[in-house]
Structure 1
Amino acid sequence: MSPFAVKAIQLLLSLSLLIVLHELGHFIPAKIFKTRVEKFFLFFDVKFALVKKKIGETTYGIGWLPLGGYVKIAGMIDESMDKEQMALPPQPWEFRSKPAWQRLIIMLGGVTVNIIVGMLIYIFVFYNNGQKIVTNDNLPNGFSVSQEFKDLGFQDGDQVLQVNGKDFENMNNLNRFLFLRDVNNITVQHPDGTTETLALPEEIGMTMFKAGDLEPFQPMRTTVIDTIYPDYPAGKSALQVGDRVLQVNGTDVNTFRSMSEAVGSNPEKPVAITVIRNGETKEFTVTPNENGQLGINNLAREYTNNFQQIDYTFGESIGGGISYGYNILKDYVYQFKYVFTSKGATQVGGFGAIGNLFPDTWNWTSFWMTTALISIILAFMNILPIPALDGGHVMFLLYEMISGRKPNDKFMEIAQMAGFFLLIGLVLFANGNDIYRWLFE
């Protein structure tokens, strides 16, 4: 099966599961409060449904348009825009006849379920698989550091000891902390054994984002080539796996990162690569592609299985899973600010970007971890105070509960329509970005 098909199947399965559970989050409290639910659909049934069956007062079905799902609750202004029903006198089984606190619980149900589902998945993955972390013991050669961070005093070969004055253990999280947390200083041990605490400028995450430097700290990799990609320039050159690069255009390079940066500064220009092969020094001229890439790599295979395994009892997995899920949510909320930059707007993605979160070979652990991430993302996106989303309804309900005044139905219809068109525009924009990247990047 092709990698595209594997990702597509995982995406469809994951979203279908999360959509059904989200809508159950609305359906169950609606039933508890004796509110009539007229429809429960996976995907949208515009004009027709693929499958539908009425059981009791509710029609269950699967639509043909896979952009989400919905429950149609009687007496509620929603995406169905059922004006005829709303023109009739309120009935006791309708949403609009229920107390505001009951309506609030119904509207918060979907988001609540998404949060719970994400946390539960993390709990069971931690219990079943434990967690793999990378410590300084697993990185005996330390990190290679980007030039931007070298300008701040960091050095190739540094080992990170503390972040914001607290011991830092899992090096897998270092770049994410820098990008998504308020990091003021980092204490490192330099290769010469000295220890230094280095201050970071404010908004270091935004600086990293604008510079495209999202992994300033990488495991130290040598310049030995262990992978050559055949469709890249190196694949058509005389370079070989096992060559150790000594110089790029006559400049010494001693880490894979410094070599990549030297090559990357010369896109589509011939580059002199000096290597040592079987004790003999050789020089080759290779022209990087338009992205400054030769198509060679050192995958640091010596670190592939060099990690520390942490196993959890079921009780420990509850705390570990909830803490992990909470940090995922907090980090996603924090990084949302990047969307409102010119660069961030171009990186907003739709279904293609979501699909690429999944691996291209089937792996149940990766599937469930990605599904948990998407569940938490859906919770956050749905609670945004935009009419037509759950958060929009919650916003108006809170206004009603605080002011004692309920917005009139005409206003709600206009707000719902405006929110609907805004969401359609965002969906088109996000998926348009996916298509652009697919065609031109």
Structure 2
Amino acid sequence: MEILIKASQFILSLSLLIVLHELGHFIPAKIFKTKVEKFYLFFDYKFSLFKKKIGETVYGIGWIPLGGYVKIAGMIDESMDTEQLKEEPKPWEFRSKPAWQRLIIMLGGVFVNFVLGILIYICLMWAYGEQYLPNENVKDGVWVQDQLAVDLGLETGDKILTIDGQTIKKFRDLPIEFINGNNYQIERNGQVLDKEIPIDFISKLVDRGKDAGGFLFPRYPFVIRNLEKDSLNSNADINPKDIITAINGKNLPYYDLAKEELAKYKGQDISLTIKRGNEIKEVSVKVSDYGNIGVGFAGTTNKDLEKLGYYKLEDINYSFTEAIPAGTKKAWTTLTSYIKQLKKIFNPSTGAYKGLGGFISIGSIFPSEWSAQSFWNITAFLSIMLGFMNLLPIPALDGGHVMFTLWEMITGKKPSDKFLEYAQVTGFILLIILLVFANGNDIFRLFN
């Protein structure tokens, strides 16, 4: 059921983005009186799931969910239909139009993707605002419990000041900034230290697997989840949601400190100070030879941490006019972050290419339960990603057509139809190789 919910959201989001992207080509083509022969969601090799001709255009749904297309008369595109090119150009064909009109037609899809991403982020800011833990409010530093964070050079209690010289406003943004960054600055025991992010950091991150969870956390209080089965303190006055605040009178506000303290009393009896609601209790327990007391540790939400007085959260509500710059900034940040990640992928030494994913990876980022906020947030991200990818100067993508059109406008020399045909085939082969590699990565991770 979980897979079905994720897949349904993925298909809905992808279909929406493809239709609107192709509409970005379709509308200016119509404005410039260019004949559009087909408008398709997904590819229709050999047959279609649905098709209907309205006017001069056949609208349909293909069976290969790898994208979509509009087939514009007189243009070498995904269909690789070159029969028209053997005849004299007709006034309604793409190749007969001025270069500036062809440029607008080709940029239409990318334009729609970027505008859509911005509009969605604006609406999300307006509808939901922002709730986050400011990094500056994590005054006692981070909790390091993962080897990946250790390999980064972090220790529990470090305060992360900057990454690549930039102050990070939101604590939740730290992981992605470490992925994108090259160096960082921390404060440790009152001393400011500059450190390099290891070149193979992303490789190690990918090797952990997506189920490994996060690697960077704020410090949590010792909240008890439950008494473990056959706990040596099963008769002690300990309840779920109790918070251990001190051991033998020593104040220990965080779980990591309490664990270190327990290790000093292996096999001994100790006194715990426990906070239960508004009540403070003293409870006697025995520490095992392994340095634990037989209880499970409960994770704590940021909202609960705020209620307990550990951290102050930022909660911002935007009017519609305030949401416009906030949403636009969010879209710009998303785009620049994606570009940084793409640069890492093209650097083999980072190992980032191992994290390249296909349909399974994209589908897996959707939540297992329907959430309008999550769905539209992911759709906005995918829209901006799709817009940027299509803008790359690769034949078979919009950016390839734009590149050749700009060359024509600058030099006055139009590439031959045969050259464009070969370029389209080359670009298509490159895209297939990339597609196979990305989805191959997904399959490899699935079985490992």
Give the counterpart of 1:281 among 282, 287, 290: 287
Q: Compute the displacement of 1:84 (Å).
A: 1.1
Question: Structure 1 residue 86: deviation in Å?
Answer: 1.0
Residues 360 and 442 in structure 2, CA contact (< 8 A), matched pair in contact too: yes
| TM-score, scaled to structure 1 | 0.79
* Rounded Cα–Cα distance in structure 2 between residues aligned with 1:239 and 1:422: 63
For residues 178 and 63 of structure 1, the distance between their equivalents in structure 2, rounded to whole angstroms, comes to 41
Where 1:414 maps in the other structure, the secondary structure is: helix
Aligned pairs for 1:123-134 (under 5 A) are 123-134=122-133
Q: Partner of 1:404 in structure 2?
A: 412
- SS of 1:59's equivalent in the other structure is strand
- Give SS of 1:78's match: coil
Shift of 1:14: 0.2
Query: Are 1:314 and 2:320 counterparts?
Result: yes
Contact 2:110–2:388 (CA under 8 A) maintained in structure 1: yes
- The one-letter amino acid paired with 2:300 is A
Alignment of 1:40-439 (within 5 A): 40-135=39-134, 139=138, 141-145=140-144, 155-160=155-160, 168-181=168-181, 185-186=185-186, 188=187, 190=188, 194=190, 196-201=191-196, 204=197, 206-212=199-205, 217-221=216-220, 226=225, 279-283=285-289, 298-301=298-301, 306=306, 307-340=313-346, 341=348, 343-439=351-447
- What is the CA–CA distance in structure 2 between the aligned matches of 1:417 and 1:301, rounded to whole Å? 52
Q: Deviations over 1:240-265 (max 9, x none)?
A: 98899xxxxxxxxx866998xxxxxx
Larger Rg, first or second structure (1 or 2): 2
Structure 1 396/130 Cα, relative in aligned 2: closer, same or farther at 3 Å?
Answer: same
Determine helix, strand or coil for the equivalent of 2:288: strand
The question of whether the paired residues in 2 share the 8 Å contact of 1:46 and 1:63 is answered with yes
Q: CA deviation at 1:401?
A: 1.4
Contact 2:391 2:397 in 1 (8 A): yes
Does structure 2 conserve the Cα–Cα contact (< 8 Å) formed by 1:40 and 1:72? Answer: yes
Residue number in structure 1 paired with 2:279? none
RMSD (CA atoms): 3.6
Closer, same or farther: CA 239–430 of 1 in aligned 2, 3 Å: farther
Shift of the alpha carbon at 1:79?
1.3
Change in Cα spacing, 1:136 to 1:114, as seen in structure 2 (3 Å) is closer
CA 51–275 in structure 1, closer or farther in 2 if over 3 Å, else same: farther
Q: Deviations over 1:299-331 (max 9, x none)?
A: 233655643211111111000000010010001
Distance 1:62 1:298 in 2: 49
CA deviation string 1:87-145 (max 9, x = no partner): 11001111001111111111111111101101100000000000012125754643124
3-state secondary structure, aligned to 2:70: strand
Structure 2 counterpart SS, 1:406:
coil
Do the aligned partners of 1:221 and 1:298 also contact (CA within 8 Å) in 2? no
Quick one: which amino acid aligns to residue 157 of structure 1? G
Question: In structure 2, how many angstroms separate the alpha carbons of the residues matched to 1:235 and 1:426?
Answer: 50
**Is 1:73–1:95's contact at 8 Å kept on the other side of the alignment?**
yes
Percent sequence identity is 48
Which amino acid letter does the alignment assign opposite residue 56 of structure 1? G
